[in-house]
Homo-oligomer: A and B are copies of this chain.
């Protein structure tokens, strides 16, 4: 009887392998890895620091290296491939799906790429050229050509005999595709229908003609949205003359969904494309430095704005003590709005028809937030300093900045999107620049006016 899945299985495995590796028992590691499924080996590699990773990889059976490469996340896969010989890469990619093959080849530097292509046999070279001819992040790049096609005028019985002759179906096949003699897509034939209809039924009469096909140029995020909305397991891909070119399967879509969602998360934190948690220190530092550099510039800009008020600050140093509060609140409120709008854009919920509504809504929230927190901070500071004027000053600055945060948080991603700049990437930096500068100006400016 098969056992139910052990929850801690990959973790225990990881511990066992790591210990064996550290104590130099390479034969034991090799034996452990031979017992491990490719997807679990991939998890092991992804959860290992770089040095351990190279040692582990060398101990993976060359025959399953291709399977493991397919399961790895892009960044980790690259870190491994970059140290392999072109012939080994060619051998490992032999049994890969078309979409994974294309992804691997696309990520190679020019000279290595040429060597790998040369090391391939003719059949794989053709496959590689086709896979590479589709645009990155398009339906074509997600597609596999392993479709099983049938003609509309045959009976279910004929199809069944054909399938028994074939002996095996490609992984993740839930439907066959019905095409005419020019390979034009006519409809789909779910396996479940084949099993539940009488053998004498004709394919044309029972096929699903409503089945939608995906244009080969469609963007992968849009394809993912379709899969998610329609609960598809696979979908046919066609060119603009409706010729069937291949199919996209849900396992690749799951990766797209995960990547899209993570892209927003990582980008908003200024971590563009840092997929590999275990990347070497220098590489990570270098990657993260871009946004730290941009942030330093904006922080210097804020300091420059504050320097206009140096005299005021010298007379009333208490203002300097309070100067961080208003920008900080603006930053948090603004990034709440920004995150929500970026997510709404990514999900396709925010579009031309309802942009105005979102803007108005976030402006209203900004105003309401403004009143609420202005009252609170104003009272708190007025009581602390026993001075009504300074309470009013900070209350006014707080209101203005939360209003600005609401507007900026909603407008910035919409504008960036229209300019074809990724809103998740640049959004937070532009936003905090706005909330810092408005916050400092509103607080120190009003204070200079009323208190000096």
A residues at B contact (CB < 8 Å): 1-5, 7, 10-11, 14-15, 18, 37, 39-40, 42-43, 46-49, 71, 160, 163-164, 166-169, 171-174, 184-187, 191-192, 194-198, 209-215, 218, 222, 226-231, 233, 238, 240, 242, 250-251, 253-254, 257-258, 261-262, 264-266, 268-271, 274, 277-278, 281-282, 284-285, 288-289, 291-292, 295-296, 298-300, 302-303, 306-307, 309-311, 313-314, 317-325, 327-329, 332-333, 335-336, 338-341, 343-344, 347-354, 357-358, 361, 364-365, 368-369, 372-373, 376-377, 380, 432, 436
Is there contact, CB below 8 Å, between A7 and B332?
A: no
Chain B residue nearest in CB terms to A322:
B303
Is there contact, CB below 8 Å, between A265 and B261?
A: yes
Q: Measured between C-beta atoms, what is the minimum distance from A39 to chain B in Å?
A: 4
Q: A43-B348, A271-B336, A271-B339 are known contacts; what are 18 more A-B pairs with Cβ within 8 Å?
A: A2-B186, A2-B212, A3-B213, A5-B218, A11-B353, A39-B229, A168-B196, A228-B258, A257-B258, A281-B361, A284-B365, A291-B336, A295-B329, A295-B332, A296-B325, A306-B324, A317-B317, A324-B327
Enumerate 5 A-B pairs (CB-CB under 8 Å) in ascending A order.
A1-B184, A37-B230, A42-B229, A298-B328, A314-B314
Is there contact, CB below 8 Å, between B47 and A348?
A: yes
Q: Measured between C-beta atoms, what is the minimum distance from A407 to chain B in Å?
A: 15
Docked CA distance A209–B11 (Å): 24
Top-10 shortest CB links A-B: A320-B320, A261-B261, A314-B317, A269-B339, A313-B317, A39-B229, A231-B251, A169-B192, A277-B344, A299-B328
Is there contact, CB below 8 Å, between A349 and B47?
A: yes
Contact of A324 among B185, B258, B309, B324 (CB under 8 A): B324
Among the interface residues A321, A336, A436, which one has the most CB atoms of the partner chain B within 10 A? A321
Chain B residue nearest in CB terms to A334:
B269
Is there contact, CB below 8 Å, between B250 and A233?
A: yes
Quick one: given A254-B228, A320-B317, A361-B281, are A5 and B369 in contact (CB under 8 Å)? no
Docked CA distance A169–B192 (Å): 6
Docked CA distance A24–B339 (Å): 34
Is there contact, CB below 8 Å, between A299 and B329?
A: yes
Copies in the complex: 2
- Which of chain B's residues have a CB closer than 8 A to the CB of A353? 11, 14-15, 18, 47
Docked CA distance A171–B372 (Å): 50
Q: Measured between C-beta atoms, what is the minimum distance from A416 to chain B in Å?
A: 17
Is there contact, CB below 8 Å, between A289 and B372?
A: yes
Among the interface residues A295, A328, A333, A352, which one has the most CB atoms of the partner chain B within 10 A? A328
Q: Measured between C-beta atoms, what is the minimum distance from A64 to chain B in Å?
A: 15
Docked CA distance A209–B349 (Å): 44
Contact of A215 among B7, B37, B368 (CB under 8 A): B7
Is there contact, CB below 8 Å, between B254 and A187?
A: no
- Which of chain B's residues have a CB closer than 8 A to the CB of A198? 164
Chain B residue nearest in CB terms to A42:
B229
Is there contact, CB below 8 Å, between A300 and B325?
A: yes
Among the interface residues A37, A163, A269, which one has the most CB atoms of the partner chain B within 10 A? A269
Is there contact, CB below 8 Å, between B295 and A357?
A: no
Is there contact, CB below 8 Å, between A321 and B332?
A: no
Among the interface residues A10, A292, A318, which one has the most CB atoms of the partner chain B within 10 A? A292
Contact of A303 among B163, B194, B324 (CB under 8 A): B324
Q: Measured between C-beta atoms, what is the minimum distance from A334 to chain B in Å?
A: 10
Quick one: given A218-B7, A285-B369, are A262 and B261 in contact (CB under 8 Å)? yes
